[in-house]
């Protein structure tokens, strides 16, 4: 088999890249380790920046998102028993759109299949060679070879592409956090109008949503927390305790799904080596507090697609991505450490966090800075 761009991984990065290339008439083959069902039901991110929304729309895969996506012009930060609104649209002219990563992936897979273009699920034993842009893999119990002009490594944090770059070429930066998020999807109308990021002495909580009937809520837990220790009643109890206000109550509903995600910050650079280009989680991870993971993945492949389509400037791909990546790394780290209960934090840390939260919710310029980062309006 031969193609122009061999894409490893059918997450948001790989599928979006394939679509952008298709629109420009560039051939690609997408190879995915898991089955379609698994890819379409892996509950993850939910916040799309305006830039992500615009790109998906321009690529002709935004129709359902336009109909079902929920536009929000602000978020709330809650601490010390009070909720403070950050009016992002008023401050930046930009909105965010709530539309699940599962839905983005479903739309992209459907479009790819409708176009009749190659997307192979359940491939095994994938080996990439950055020198030759040759990919070996097993599909339908047969050994296959895909010869490419370039390889796009979109295979997430645990993929095979990043490890195929020699260790002495790659510089990595990492921070692990002692905490993680326990996330639930609940069949109940969201109790709030916009997202609530709540700092509480019992730990952080986040109130989000997926639709007018589906709420997505998170509580801070230990990074290796055993989900079995969290029966539904305990989750609701913690959510109530961390988010309740004198005049506001959280509505409960059946929990459809729950899971724990550990947190890390990670960057590997450069994001390219010979004929291999990394994009999305394959190259970098942010803790989820800034809602940046999915948006960064899309931003990488937008840059990669532009350079592949123009046929020049691939050398500058990594540098072009990393400026935005590091900005998002800082913002995500800052949001995370401002809002969570810190592992070895003492009363001094708590006072610093509260002071920072008071500043961010009262100073017009600090509020604007948070909003610009959150909506992805940082031009670097």
The catalytic site residues sit at: 72, 197, 288, 292, 374
Helix then strand count (H, E) for the chain reads: 11, 20
**Three-state DSSP state, 264:** strand
Q: Which does 12 bind (CB under 5 to 8 A by kind): ligand FAD, ligand DHB, none?
A: ligand FAD
Q: Tell me which of ligand DHB, ligand FAD, none is bound by residue 153, counting a contact when its beta carbon lies within the kind-specific cut-off of 5 to 8 angstroms.
A: none
Classify each residue of 135-174 as buried b or exposed e, where b means 16 or more C-beta atoms within 10 Å of its C-beta.
Answer: bebebeeeeeebebebbbbbbbeebbbbebbeeeebeeee
Residue 154 engages ligand FAD in binding (rule: CB under 6 A): yes
Shortest separation between residue 82's beta carbon and ligand DHB, angstroms: 20
Residue 340 burial class via C-beta count within 10 angstroms: exposed 0-12, middle 13-18, buried 19 and up: buried
The reply to whether 29 sits near ligand FAD by the rule CB under 6 A is no
Structure tokens at 173: 């930066």
**C-alpha pair distances (Å), 377 with each of 21, 75, 185, 227:** 25, 16, 29, 36
CA-based nearest residue to 198, from 216, 221, 225, 218: 218
Is 261 a residue that touches ligand FAD (CB under 6 A)? Answer: yes
Q: Tell me how far, at minimum, the Cβ of 196 lies from ligand DHB, in Å.
A: 10
Burial of 326 (0-12, 13-18, 19+ CB in 10 A): middle
Of 26-34, 139-147, 221-229, 362-370, the window that binds ligand FAD (rule: CB under 6 A) is: 26-34
Q: Which of 78, 92, 102, 208 binds ligand DHB (CB under 6 A)?
A: 208
Question: Stretches 43-51, 81-89, 109-117, 123-131: which one binds ligand DHB (CB under 6 A)?
Answer: 43-51
Show contacts with ligand FAD in window 186-245 (CB under 6 A).
none
Which single residue is written with the structure tokens 């692990």? 176
Judge contact between 6 and 29, C-beta under 8 A.
yes
- 46 touches ligand DHB by CB under 6 A: yes
The contact mask relative to ligand DHB for 249-288 (x = CB under 6 A, - = no) is: ---------------------------------------x
Residue from 39, 205, 321, 339 touching ligand FAD (CB under 6 A): that is: 39
268 binds ligand FAD (CB under 6 A): no
130: contact with ligand FAD by CB under 6 A: no
> If binding is defined by CB under 6 A, does position 32 make contact with ligand FAD?
yes
Kindly state the smallest distance separating residue 17's Cβ from ligand FAD, in Å. Answer: 9
Could you tell me the smallest distance in angstroms from the CB atom of residue 351 to ligand FAD? 29
Q: How far is CA 306 from CA 73, 112, 272, in A?
A: 29, 19, 16
CB burial of residue 344 (10 Å; 0-12, 13-18, 19+)? exposed
Q: Please select the residue that binds ligand FAD; options are 281, 340, 361, 373, rule is CB under 6 A.
A: 281
Q: Based on the shown chain and the rule CB under 6 A, indicate whether residue 293 belongs to the binding site for ligand FAD.
A: yes
**Alpha carbon distance 182, 279 (integer Å):** 27
Q: Please count the other Cβ atoms lying within 10 Å of the Cβ belonging to residue 262.
A: 16
Tell me the torsion sign for CA atoms 238, 243, 249, 252: negative
Out of 29, 45, 133, 198, name the contact with ligand DHB by CB under 6 A. Answer: 45
Binding residues vs ligand DHB (CB under 6 A): 45-47, 195, 206, 208, 216, 288-289, 291
């Amino acid at each position: 088999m031969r193609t122009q761009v061999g894409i490893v991984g059918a997450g948001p990065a790989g599928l979006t890249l394939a679509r952008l290339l298709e629109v420009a008439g560039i051939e690609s083959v997408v190879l995915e380790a898991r089955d379609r069902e698994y890819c379409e039901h892996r509950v993850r991110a939910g916040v799309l920046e305006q830039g992500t929304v615009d790109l998906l729309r321009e690529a002709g895969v935004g129709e359902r998102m336009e109909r079902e996506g929920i536009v929000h012009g602000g978020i709330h930060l809650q601490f010390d028993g009070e909720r403070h609104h950050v009016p992002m649209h008023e401050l930046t002219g930009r909105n965010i759109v709530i539309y699940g990563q599962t839905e983005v992936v479903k739309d992209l897979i459907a479009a790819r299949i409708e176009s009749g273009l190659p997307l192979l699920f359940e491939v095994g034993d994938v080996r990439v060679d950055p020198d030759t842009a040759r990919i070996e893999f097993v599909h339908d119990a047969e050994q296959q070879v895909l010869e490419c002009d370039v390889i796009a490594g979109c295979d997430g944090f645990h993929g095979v592409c990043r490890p195929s770059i020699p260790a002495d070429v790659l510089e990595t930066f990492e921070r692990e956090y002692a905490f993680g998020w326990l996330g639930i999807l609940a069949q109940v109308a969201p109790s709030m109008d916009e997202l609530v990021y709540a700092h509480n002495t019992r730990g952080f909580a986040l109130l989000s949503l997926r639709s007018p009937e589906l709420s997505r809520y998170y509580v801070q837990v230990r990074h290796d927390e055993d989900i079995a220790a969290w029966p539904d009643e305990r989750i609701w109890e913690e959510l109530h305790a961390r988010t309740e206000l004198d005049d506001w109550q959280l509505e409960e509903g059946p929990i459809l799904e729950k899971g724990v995600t550990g947190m890390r910050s990670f960057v590997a650079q450069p994001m390219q080596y010979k004929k291999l280009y990394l994009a999305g989680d394959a190259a970098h991870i942010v803790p989820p507090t800034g809602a940046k993971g999915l948006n960064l993945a899309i931003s990488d492949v937008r840059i990669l697609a532009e350079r592949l389509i123009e046929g020049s400037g691939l050398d500058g791909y990594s540098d072009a991505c990393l400026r935005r990546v590091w900005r998002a790394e800082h913002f995500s780290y800052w949001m995370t450490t401002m809002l969570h209960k810190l592992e070895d934090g003492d009363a001094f840390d708590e006072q610093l966090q509260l002071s920072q939260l008071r500043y961010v919710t009262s100073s017009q310029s600090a509020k604007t800075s948070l909003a610009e980062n959150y909506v992805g309006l940082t031009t670097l």
